[in-house]
Amino acid sequence: MGCRRACARIRVKITRAVFRLGSLFIMSNRSIVRILPAVDTEDGAGVRLRRALGYRQDVRMDPFLMLDAFSSDDPNDYIAGFPPHPHRGFETVTYIIDGHMRHRDHLGNEGDLRAGGVQWMTAGRGIVHEEMPQQENGLLRGFQIWLNLPAAQKMQPAHYRDIPAAAIRTVGLPEGGFIKLIAGTIPWGHCPLRGAERSPRATQPLIADICVMTGQGVEIPIPATHHALLYVFQGALDGGDQAVAPGNTVWFGDQGETLRIAPAPNTSDGARALLLAGKPLNEPIAQYGPFVMNTSQEIEQAVRDYQNGVLASGAVKPRAAPAGR
């Protein structure tokens, strides 16, 4: 069977019979173990958002440190943006669904992040950057994910990649549903879906925007090594004995091969969720605001480096100890 015909299978409703590498397997679904509401907060210069991961130390899912969701058509909620601030020791993944933002950093890099696009930034040893809205009105909607780096890679040089919407694989499902694969690979049939970002990483992240319409259901294979969650941001998700409303994070257990994603019964609007799955690092985490290392001594060094203007290569003016994003 050709790749095009194999991929066409994805356009129909996926049931528990999942095609993988041309063979038929009956797979078991992972169970829901936790449903947590996101917390309303502000960050940057007053941007209003919902924090789904990272608002407490016990609300992280290794290797994911933080998940922020922002969505507003009131410019007062976002116009001040995120002025210059530092990072060290992890990666940020920013996905814009609606709107337009600009990134600039102390190394002279600049990039536009438009609707449907992603910016993948590896802070590594350190970077000072800003993220500012490029609109004075209208809807700004998207996510920022903090993805941890292993200890051996925390001090690598900083770099980033802008991924335009056209470069991100989107596969249609019936009645307007879709799977938009930002990172990782989903092993379906003879033609695995491959995300826009596939660079080798210890965390092996799988990140996807998934929309399923009423009457549909899709099951996503998840590696046995990975933790996984869904953040619901549109419609209502079937949570077994309850409907999961927008603004809630669904945590899954480690037993089972797939995540079942379907709208809640009797909903007419379908459901849309952000899928995060990754291989845990199982390393100690020390965090102070935008610095994420493995020990308190490393955090103290990061603060000193920032204050002394040597957090990262290039000229950086000394600043007071940072807080927030």
* 115 vs 112: CA distance, rounded Å: 10
Spell out the domain ranges in the chain.
Answer: 10-307
* Dihedral sign (CA 245, 248, 253, 255): positive
* 67 vs 94: CA distance, rounded Å: 10
- Phi first, then psi: give them for residue 42, nearest 5 degrees: -130, 150
Structure token pair of residue 140: 């700004």
Structure token pair of residue 269: 């609007």
* 259 vs 262: CA distance, rounded Å: 10
Predicted local distance difference test score (pLDDT) of residue 106: 84
Predicted local distance difference test score (pLDDT) of residue 107: 81
Structure token pair of residue 223: 């590696």
Length of the chain (residues): 325
Termini Cα distance of the chain: 49
Residue 101 CB partners (closer than 8 Å, separation 6+): 81, 94, 112, 113, 131, 132, 133, 134, 140
The partner residues of 185 in beta bridges, in order of sequence, read 194
**Which listed CATH number (2.40.50.100, 3.40.50.1860, 2.60.120.10, 2.130.10.10) goes with 10-307?**
2.60.120.10
DSSP 297: H
* 295 vs 238: CA distance, rounded Å: 40
Residue 74's Cβ-count burial label (10 Å; 0-12, 13-18, 19+) is exposed
Task: Tell me the percentage of the chain whose pLDDT exceeds 90.
Answer: 74
* 144 vs 121: CA distance, rounded Å: 11
Q: Tell me the Cα Rg of the chain.
A: 20
Determine the residue type at 158. A
> pLDDT (tens digit, 0 to 9) for every residue of the chain, 325 residues total?
334 333 434 433 343 323 232 234 567 999 999 999 999 999 999 999 999 999 999 999 999 999 999 999 999 999 999 999 999 999 999 999 999 999 998 888 888 899 999 999 999 999 999 999 999 899 999 999 999 999 999 999 998 899 999 999 999 887 889 999 999 999 766 778 899 888 889 999 999 999 999 988 999 999 999 999 999 999 999 998 899 999 999 999 999 999 999 999 988 889 999 999 999 999 999 999 999 999 999 999 999 999 998 887 643 343 444 555 5
- Phi first, then psi: give them for residue 268, nearest 5 degrees: -105, -5
* 170 vs 183: CA distance, rounded Å: 12
129 and 121 in contact (C-beta within 8 Å)?
yes
89 and 292 in contact (C-beta within 8 Å)?
yes
Predicted local distance difference test score (pLDDT) of residue 325: 57
Picking from 23, 19, 28, the residue whose alpha carbon sits closest to that of residue 224 is 28
Predicted local distance difference test score (pLDDT) of residue 16: 33
